[in-house]
Structure 1
Amino acid sequence: MTNKIAIALAALIFAILMLDVLVFGWDLHIFLGRRLLDLTEYLAFWR
């Protein structure tokens, strides 16, 4: 991974966290966690 890619990924993660704070009030990670849990339960059904 080059420095340019690492900086771009860090900026993207920082922007997503700032969007979470300003727009969603720190609830985005809870929403995504619940959706991931639903996805794993759905995939376990097809196993």
Structure 2
Amino acid sequence: MTNKVAIGLAVLILGLLVVDWQMFGLNNSLFLAKKFSDLLEWVAFWR
């Protein structure tokens, strides 16, 4: 991954977080964080 791609992804993610914060109060991001935590726990179980 080049620096340009990494910076582009970081800007995209931060932009989406700002939009979520402005429009929904971070509810969607919190939901996705909880689901990602559950996924990591499930994957660790199968490891």
> What TM-score, normalized by structure 1, do the two folds share?
0.54
Q: Which has the higher contact order (CA 8 A, sep 6+)?
A: 2
Q: Which structure 1 residue ranges, 4+ long, deviate > 3 Å from structure 2?
A: 8-11
Structure 1: runs of 5+ lacking an equivalent: none
Which structure has the larger Rg? 1
Structure 2: runs of 5+ lacking an equivalent: none
> What TM-score, normalized by structure 2, do the two folds share?
0.54
Considering fraction of residues, name the structure with more helix: 2
Hey, what's the Cα distance between the residues in 2 that align with 1:25 and 1:36?
A: 19
